[in-house]
A and B are shown apart, each in its own frame.
Chain A
Amino acid sequence: MSAKTTDGFCKKVVMRRLLVSICAFLFLVTSARGADSTSAADDAFAKTVDLDAIRSISVQHNQTIKTFDTYARDVLFAVTAKSTLDGKSAAFVVIDMALRPEQYGNRNLIYIRNKPFRADFASLSVLKDKSADADRIVKEGTISLAFWLDPHVQAEMQKIMSTAMVKADAIQQINGQAAQLAQLLGFPSGERAIYRLAILPPLNSPDANAKPWLSPQALFDDAAKTMAQMTGSTPPATLPTTIAGYAPRIAGDVLESLGDLREAWLAQDLAKTQLATTKLAAAVQEANPAIYPSKTKRSFEVLYNSLYRLTMPAVAFYFVGFVLFLLAWKTDISWLYRSAVGFTIGGWLVHLSGIAIRWWLIEKSVGNWLDAIPIKNQFESVLMSAFSGVTVALLLERWKRFGIFGAAAAFIGMLSLVAIASAPYITGRDIGGEIKQHAGILMTYWLYVHVTLVTASYALIGMTFVMGVWYIVQYLSNRDADVLKTIDDCNLIMLQLAFWILGIGIITGALWADVSWGRPWGWDPKETFALITWIVYLVIIHVRFITSGQQRALITGILSVVGFAVMLFNWWGVNFFLVGLHSYA
């Protein structure tokens, strides 16, 4: 084939690609209303549609590389405080929002996180004659985008804003959620979030994180520009060989597959939907395979999300382990004890996997192993803390074989993981489960040392709490001297470890504060209550000098409970009730 013919052929291919892409994209953007479908059909479609391919494509969101599945969960949670909607997965809902926005504008999706503020809705004049609606908002705490954007509601919110700063903050927060939902629905511009998603890896980038990823919209804009030039009065002599830098075939595949996806989605055609998503996934990966995240990473991320970030599977193991430890303690049957240890070790392994996978995923997102250490927010610190405590307790169990350390380990592991898995849904707030970049001040080895030590000591304090309660219960019900002494001995071992490690943790915190804030100790509430926790244990140690026998052990048990309460207040209460510099801890 001559050079000229080849050139002509290429031109034809490019032209055809461009035309098809633009038509597909135009159709998809301009047809604002899709066909209404029954909810039963929706549910059936949602249940059977295979979104595995699109779930695992990579997205750059908030300067972090994540899968579409993670992105969808993050944005849906930000708006609704839920990870699913009517039993439909976040990925399904986010795609559906983009393709059938008319289904969502009037739905009560925006979750009002500030609970006291909900009462203000009852007094809105627009709800004057709609007490049932007002009651529902106060009770459920959800409103629709259409309701929020109603000019009367906005006008009244303007007035409310000027009455209290806390209300102004609540309104700003809802504004943020409404903006995010509007973006997902493509309101009012018609440019839906899915087409603005940064799913195309940048070209000429040393790694996936260094440069901004591109969206299909960029391809469309560039293709439209080229088309305008070609159909203009003086078309250029040579055609551009790329679209926004990408090979026309890839650009065409991306735009076409998005058009096909919409068509198939509205028709609820399972096969075509799967075909379109597979084509899209293949095209974006092919855009720059050198820096595109590996399939293993993406698959693990999707799996990690679907398994509640590996918290609940570990909880299941810990729970069984704990019950078996109690039974073994009661019955003294050795196989029960062995099973209890086995299940707790199983929980520990799943727990370890959860940490390891999370660390690995963060590393892939932020690009540095040390920076990726998962101890930078409440979710991660509790995850790591519980892990440290369970590890120490299991080692002690291996040494002493009383069953007490093992039971405490299983209980604390279970309690901690249940807390972090459920807290976002109970409080409606993200406690750090989302994988994202962190404030620069946290990127230091001091964090790794200080937070690891302090959270490990907290886990041990949790163990002393379990043993303290156990001692009190046994003291009140049994009074078997040997049993009580064994529990007290175990409690003392934990208590000494907790006290010593917390002490080092506080001192390393002071050293960090010295380099970060210019003074080792500033009486910040977090610092102060950590010191008070330490003082409680200092008191326990000295009380043991002036008491003896079961009285000594009982006071130790009671003070262990007090110490745990102070620690809990320091870890969580200070964040909610007091103002300080440790907002992330």
Chain B
Amino acid sequence: MFLRSVDWLFRHTLSSVPFGIALLVGIAGYIAVGSGLASVREYFELDEMGFFNALPLKLMMFLLVVTLITVTIQRIPFTPPRYGVWMVHTGIVTLIAGAAYHYNKKVEGAILIPVDGAATRFYDRWDRALYLQAGGYVTRVPLTALPRFHAYSDELKNADYLDRSELRDLSPVLAKVSQPGAQPMPAPAAEALGLKELRLAITGYWPYAEVRTRLVQDASSNDVGFIARMPAHGDDAANESVLFGAELRSRQAMWGAVEFEHRPVADQAAINAAIDASKSIHRIAIKVAGIDKTVAVQVGQPVDLAIPGYAMQIESFEPNFPAMDGTRVQLLTMMVQTPTQRFRRQVISGRDKPTDWKLGELGSGPMGKRQTEPLDPALITTYTFSDPFILLPRNGLAKHTIFTTPNESAKATVVGVSLNEPPSVQTLEGATSVLSVAHPQSGEDVLTAVMTGRTQASHADDVTLLRVDHAKAEQIADVTPKAMRNRDEGQSGRKQVVRVRAEGRDANDKPFKLEVLAPFSERPFESPWQGGLLNIPGMSTVAQVQLGNDWRRLPARIKLDKFEAEAYGGFEATSVPMLRDFRSTITITDLETGKSQTDVVFLNSPVKYDPSPLSMVFGKSWIFFQSGWDNEGQRFTVLGIGNRPGVFAMTAGCSLIIVGIFYAFYIKPLIIKRMKKNALKKAQATEHANGSGPKPKRGRAALTAR
């Protein structure tokens, strides 16, 4: 009965052309949906590779292969006119088999290599992992079942989707040094961190979100925090930031070129000390005409010298000026008037010799003409920079430090320090207060304004500060609205966030449980991590978790010897040129044999690496291609990396298909024509032999007949 069913199946279904056509339509429909309707595959949490490697397509492909084989063997005789069809069908079967193997074994990813740097691993394009960093070591746990397209969390009441073994009870292995000087040995993370037990689990996932801090009121807390509401300015939209001095990660915020910091201090005396310090960040010791004095100076302000015939005005300050010897120095520029001349002087903190600039000389630049020796050697100015309270901005042009004390619950003092403006002090009172914040100009702007005499009115905006008493900071995954999502960021997964639950028992066998949000890091080994700090009580070291693409070992060590960006001709130095090509000169060194090869990877010209002579046939070879580059210079390259399983079989299959189609369409008619002709000839010969046909023609007559 079973054999009869199988026989029926083969005869009536698997050898049926309509069934084959139905399969083709099914395959076309499936891939059209997967490619054209991303929402469908996203519904099933399948990326492109997952969808096109899923069971329905595999099943249809399998049935197509069986049908093709059955039809070919049962219905298509292996005769010269049919060779084409045989070739096409064989080619399709080979192609499908090759593709199945290819997608089963395919690995692809990318690696950023700085010039003169080398890499032995790369990041997978699809697979992700949870990275754990502690004590200088980094480890990871692959997250094979992590969703990709939808958010899952307790708040959304769908966290049970994450309740699968691949995302629970994650037990990373870290390196542990048993005694000083010994080699680090792999050990369970709990052991390496000095805990009795540690289990990690993914309890939330957001495909496109930002990790933000929000302030909530908690009666048990005595801390104060602020919510700063900044209006839109320039290209920056209006936004809201939390300033919470009790937590290091939440104490600062940036708005355009302005920095904010909340700093809780013990008492008013500390605030007064900070205010005093803000006024004496720049000090100049002046020796001239027998007078020796040190004065605190302010940028943009005249210096109170009280020396007859002498005047000074501080023009600008550069906190990171590149000195001739390559070091970064603090540089103050001032206009100096002496009884005999007027010139510009630049002084560097901690260095005695100033640089003077003569004014009004033909051919001199906007600063004046640089002098090798002081224009007035009698005027000795020694500059000292001192910012012990870190009131100056680090990245911006101005900084507002908000000081609060525990005793005065409704009062805050804001010390504003700008690179090119005198310091300011504002006092805030009440739950809601408004801080007037000027948008500072860069040193260059100030210098231009001073030199041209066109001082611009400084533009100021109001920043609203909402004070939160008894505050506690809480991290949330702030989901970016769909309309505000950037396609590239979404595709690359740069905005993914996971919530990680860490639980177990500490060194004293006391149970603990905490949850942190871990954002995505594009290159966990090379770039700094954000958030994800595991503050487990009693832990011997600080641990941090991060989501990232899984890493894989490269088949060889790749060193970037040189990277060149080749632009089309005719671009101006000031413009961003359109580029013609990118070239990475790399040296590939086999990790086992140490054998090296140097090649150049450029657009459309990858470097293929075959670890062994027959690598290509067995799909063991690798390809390195130009995938990305440094837009701002020629400091690094990004190489795309992929293995090549089944490519040989797929190429062979494609070749068979093309040759077969050509044969079937254009050779087969000729063969059939010839066969018909031969058959006709044969029939005629037979008829002639039987004496029933016409006489065969000879010579010219035969040619004419032909």
Contact = CB atoms under 8 A, between A and B. Distances in A.
A503 B658 contact: yes
B640 A542 contact: no
Interface string B36-77: 101000000000110110000000000000000000000000
B570 A518 contact: no
27 contacts: A60-B570, A62-B578, A63-B567, A63-B568, A64-B570, A164-B484, A165-B485, A209-B569, A210-B569, A210-B570, A234-B362, A440-B581, A443-B581, A500-B662, A504-B658, A507-B654, A512-B604, A515-B625, A516-B603, A516-B606, A518-B623, A519-B642, A520-B647, A528-B36, A529-B36, A531-B31, A539-B24
Given A164-B484, A528-B35, A545 B570 contact: no
Interface in A468-523: 496, 499-500, 503-504, 507, 510, 512, 514-523
Contacts of B431: none
B39 to A, nearest CB: 12
Greatest chain A CB density within 10 A among B36, B491, B641 is at B36
Contacts of B624: 518
A440 B603 contact: yes
Nearest to A61: B570
A38 interface: no
B18 interface: yes
Contacts of A521: 99
Contacts of A23: none
A482 to B, nearest CB: 21
A531 B99 CA distance: 14
Contacts of B486: 165
A577 B650 CA distance: 30
Nearest to B650: A520
A486 B35 CA distance: 38
A518 B641 contact: yes
Contacts of A528: 31-32, 34-36
A62 B577 CA distance: 9
Given A158-B232, A162-B237, 4 more contacts: A212-B572, A519-B106, A531-B31, A543-B21
A419 to B, nearest CB: 23
The 8 closest A-B pairs by CB, nearest first: A164-B483, A528-B35, A518-B642, A162-B237, A444-B604, A210-B569, A535-B28, A209-B569
A195 B619 CA distance: 60
Contacts of B317: none
B578 A63 contact: yes
A158 B24 contact: no
Secondary structure at the A interface, as helix, strand, loop or mixed, is: helix
Interface string A524-556: 110011011001101100110110000000000
Nearest to A235: B362
Contact of A437 (B18, B568, B604): B568
Interface of A: 60, 62-65, 155, 158-159, 161-167, 207, 209-213, 229, 232-234, 366-367, 437, 440-441, 443-444, 446, 496, 499-500, 503-504, 507, 510, 512, 514-525, 528-529, 531-532, 535-536, 538-539, 542-543, 545-546, 577-579
B539 to A, nearest CB: 41
Given A213-B570, A503-B661, A519-B642, A440 B582 contact: yes
B579 A440 contact: yes
Most buried by B among A437, A499, A536: A437
B700 interface: no
B581 A518 contact: no
A520 B106 CA distance: 11
A535 B35 CA distance: 15
B483 A518 contact: no
Interface residues of B, number: 65
A516 B604 contact: yes
Nearest to B661: A500
B454 interface: no
A515 B604 contact: yes
B27 interface: yes
B32 A159 contact: no
Given A165-B484, A212-B571, A440-B582, A158 B237 contact: yes
B48 A522 contact: yes
A155 B487 CA distance: 26
B288 interface: no
A196 B661 CA distance: 58
Interface in B554-592: 566-572, 577-582
A424 to B, nearest CB: 21
A518 B38 CA distance: 23
Contact of A535 (B24, B567, B570): B24
Contacts of A503: 657-658, 661
A525 B625 contact: no
B665 interface: yes
Contacts of A446: 604
Contacts of A514: 623, 647
Contacts of B568: 63, 209, 366, 437
A558 B246 CA distance: 73
A578 B568 CA distance: 31
Contact of A162 (B51, B484, B567, B650): B484
B272 interface: no
A207 B569 CA distance: 10
Contacts of B658: 500, 503-504, 507
A210 B569 CA distance: 4
B24 A510 contact: no
Contact of A539 (B25, B49, B99): B25
B605 interface: yes
B623 to A, nearest CB: 5
B603 A211 contact: no
A163 B484 CA distance: 7
B108 interface: yes
Interface string B12-33: 0000011011001101100110
B514 interface: no
B379 interface: no
